[in-house]
Amino acid sequence: MSFTAPIIGITSHCEITGQNTINKQYAQYIANAGGIPLIFPLIETLHKDASLLDMHVNAYLERIDGLLLTGGGDIDANSFGGSVYESYSHAELVDTCPVRDTFEGALCKRAYEQNLPILGICRGMQLLNIAQAGRMVRDLSEQPGLSASAKHHNVEPYDKPAHHVTLEASSKLAQIFGTTQLAVNSHHHQAVSTPGCGIRFVGWADDKTPEALEVDDKPFVIGVQWHPEVLGTQPQLFEAFVNAARERSRRT
């Protein structure tokens, strides 16, 4: 690509019927970090037409230097061949969108194969893990050794820290933030449980809930369970992501 500023693809929500939306802060932080945000719409027909889905995914990936997987509703239990959740997990799901699962799953897998820098936030982190055959629990109350904690779900105000996360000292995230201790906000009732192929959990809440993941043999594949775009105190994560995308654009 000839662009100086890297183009970052950003996935959109479908929780509001008939509308594609994103939190504007995702795009703002990408722009602040020197990237050009490109928002991907959700198209119903892609869910049922594999060849059309493939064409769209290829076209999108040819045009971007990095992929931002945003937050949103739960991943449908029937998506990804029905192997999303642990066998013991049966809690009710909230705001599922199979159309989004299909599109983002294909997009994520292909971007991963192409070594595209990927940043997953909240649901985006979960999708990163699921796309590599990892698993999760439908609700924190079902995770062995954990309890349904008010520290994780619907903690207001959303832009204030709700709990701490301890990062592995050798992780990319610890290098990005310059510390292994973070104060983060929280807005999730689910959790990743079994890491996917190549995935390594590198951050945990005090109650041992996995809060961050990485892939060691990829230039930049990172997922965080909190919402740094809302917290407003972690611009360095977006800067590192956009810088990784910029480096890739220079090599292609």
Q: For the chain, list the domains and their CATH numbers.
A: 7-250 (3.40.50.880)
Q: What is the pLDDT of residues 229-249, one digit of tens each?
A: 998 889 999 999 999 999 988
Q: What is the mean pLDDT of residues 158-168?
A: 90
- Residue 2: pLDDT over 50: no
At 99, phi and psi to the nearest 5?
-60, -45
Q: CA separation (Å) from 128 to 135, 160, 181?
A: 10, 25, 23
Dist CA 81 CA 133 (whole Å): 10
Is residue 1 very low, low, confident or very high in pLDDT (cuts 50, 70, 90)?
A: very low
In this structure, the strands spanning 118-121 and 66-69 are: parallel
HSE (side-chain half, CA atoms, 13 Å) at 32 = 15
Q: What is the mean pLDDT of residues 116-129?
A: 97
| The dihedral sign for the CA sequence 58, 62, 65, 71 | negative
HSE (side-chain half, CA atoms, 13 Å) at 126 = 28
**Residue 139 pLDDT:** 85
Dist CA 164 CA 185 (whole Å): 9
Is residue 118 very low, low, confident or very high in pLDDT (cuts 50, 70, 90)?
A: very high
